[in-house]
């Protein structure tokens, strides 16, 4: 595909003014033009063989149909990640294996692999195997492949992985001896029932043990301690409260 296909007709009946020309590919309308010279640029979404014809409409309520013209449209290269799927979760110290392949109806001439915006590997063949060694940055990792065919047409595909900080297990603490409310919560949770006069570390985890939020809270005069959870999405979470002499864990739900 790449550059669009230019469509234009020659009008041989100047006595009757044409006000519109419609263009069809395999009998499906692909575009219209109401401005002389009634040209149209078609950019097909898929490759294949097409029969193109045009229908001109004049002010005398007549239509004029051209003969069909056959064209062949090459497909853009298609890319597959064979070792990874978008949305997978890895830890900062994991080794990530990337295997990618490309195919094209007229042949792949080059394949390039990028991590973020940086090119890390390239090949004149239709496949690449690459190892991303740790450590990785916590957050999102975008992996993109770009394939080029013998007509310099390019196809690309990207997947996004999530890199966690390495926390893979939930703390093994005593059953909860504090209260989280409201539960379900929305933007703020309050903690009560902690032994008085102490400072505590509060850590919120996802169910797979990933640390999402940490704060320091104080238990004073039976007043509840508030934690802002505005940055967290709807879901089920674990909260750990601990200091040198105390440790407990509880569950709470966020709904937004």
Same domain, 156 and 86: yes
Computed over every residue of the chain, the mean pLDDT equals 86
Q: Does residue 172 sit within a domain?
A: no
For CA atoms 224, 230, 236, 237, give the dihedral sign. Answer: negative
From 16-20, 53-57, 103-107, the region with the lowest mean pLDDT: 16-20
**Domain span at residue 82?**
78-164
Same domain, 158 and 185: no
Same domain, 31 and 93: no
Same domain, 90 and 120: yes
Q: Does residue 170 sit within a domain?
A: no
2 pLDDT above the threshold of 60: no
| Kind of pairing between the strands at 154-164 and 89-91 | parallel
Looking at residue 173, its pLDDT comes to: 44
CATH number of the domain to which 23 belongs: 2.60.40.10
Same domain, 32 and 82: no
Most confident of 11-25, 34-48, 218-232: 218-232
N- to C-terminal Cα separation, the chain: 44
H/E segment holding residue 149: strand 139-149
């Amino acid at each position: 595909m790449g550059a669009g296909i230019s469509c234009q007709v020659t009008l041989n009946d100047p006595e009757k003014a044409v006000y519109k020309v419609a263009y069809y590919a395999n009998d499906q309308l692909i575009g219209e033009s109401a401005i002389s010279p009634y040209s149209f640029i078609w950019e097909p979404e898929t490759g294949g063989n097409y029969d193109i014809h045009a229908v001109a409409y004049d002010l005398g309520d007549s239509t004029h149909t051209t003969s069909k013209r056959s064209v062949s449209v090459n497909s853009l290269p298609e890319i597959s990640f064979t070792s990874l799927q978008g949305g997978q979760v890895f830890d900062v110290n994991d080794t990530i294996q990337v295997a990618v392949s490309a195919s094209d109806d007229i042949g792949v001439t080059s394949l390039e692999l990028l991590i973020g915006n940086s090119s890390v590997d390239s090949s004149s063949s239709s496949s690449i195997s690459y190892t991303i060694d740790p450590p990785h940055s916590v957050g999102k990792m975008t992996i993109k492949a770009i394939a080029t065919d013998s007509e310099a047409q390019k196809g690309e595909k990207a997947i996004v992985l999530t890199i966690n900080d390495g926390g893979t297990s939930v703390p093994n603490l005593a059953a909860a001896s504090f209260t989280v409310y409201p539960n379900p919560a929305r933007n703020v949770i309050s903690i009560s029932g902690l032994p008085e006069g102490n400072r505590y570390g509060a850590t919120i985890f996802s169910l797979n043990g990933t640390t999402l939020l940490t704060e320091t809270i104080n238990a004073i005069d039976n007043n509840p301690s508030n934690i802002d959870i505005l940055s967290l999405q709807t879901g089920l979470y674990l909260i750990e409260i601990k200091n040198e002499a105390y440790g407990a864990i509880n569950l709470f739900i966020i709904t937004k």
